Amino acid sequence: MRRWTLIFLLAWCAPSQAEPVAVNKTGDMLQALDDLALAAANQDLSLVKMQPIDTALAKRGYENPHIRILFLGSASAVRWAEVVEPRLLNLLPLRLTLIQREGRVTVMSDDFEPWLREFPEDPAHQMLLAWRAELKAMLDDFMRQ
């Protein structure tokens, strides 16, 4: 009986976790934004918008989550998606989430895994892999600064 109860509990707690591309380094939000701007330029990506979730919530009386979102992209990615798979326009512009905690800033991309599973065939799959690789290269550059 106890064995079955254990199996039941393990099965209940088993769901897998999705993990996006993420890096973190010492510093504050403003320094991280500067470094990301430079890393984006090095990858021929343009900054579209910075969404200050932190100040938006704090000025309305909520706890400051120390989170900002950076939207970035390229015209070629938009044209590519229009031709290959217009549903993937929903991923553009690409996004990075910045989280500041205890003197470190974590930068993470959106999770590409559900999209890669949904589009298992080329050229859409290849396009998603290319976008993820572009973001990873940018984050590697960010870490080197």
Q: How far is the CB of 61 from another protein (least distance, A)?
A: 9
CA atoms of 68 and 99, how far apart (whole Å): 7
Q: Where are the alpha helices (DSSP H) in the chain?
A: 2-12, 29-42, 53-58, 75-84, 113-118, 124-144
Beta bridge partners of 70: 50, 96
Alpha-carbon span 116 to 46, nearest angstrom: 24
Is 3 a binder of another protein (CB under 8 A)?
no
Contact call for residues 82 and 59 (beta carbons, < 8 A): no
In the complex with another protein, the residue whose CB is nearer, 12 or 121, is 12
> Which of 32, 105, 108, 127 is the binder for another protein (CB under 8 A)?
108
Note whether 56 binds another protein by CB under 8 A: yes
Contact positions vs another protein (CB under 8 A): 1, 4-5, 8, 11-12, 15-18, 20, 46-49, 51, 53, 56-57, 60, 62-63, 65, 67, 69, 73-75, 78, 86-87, 89-90, 92-93, 95, 97, 99, 108, 110-111, 113-114, 118
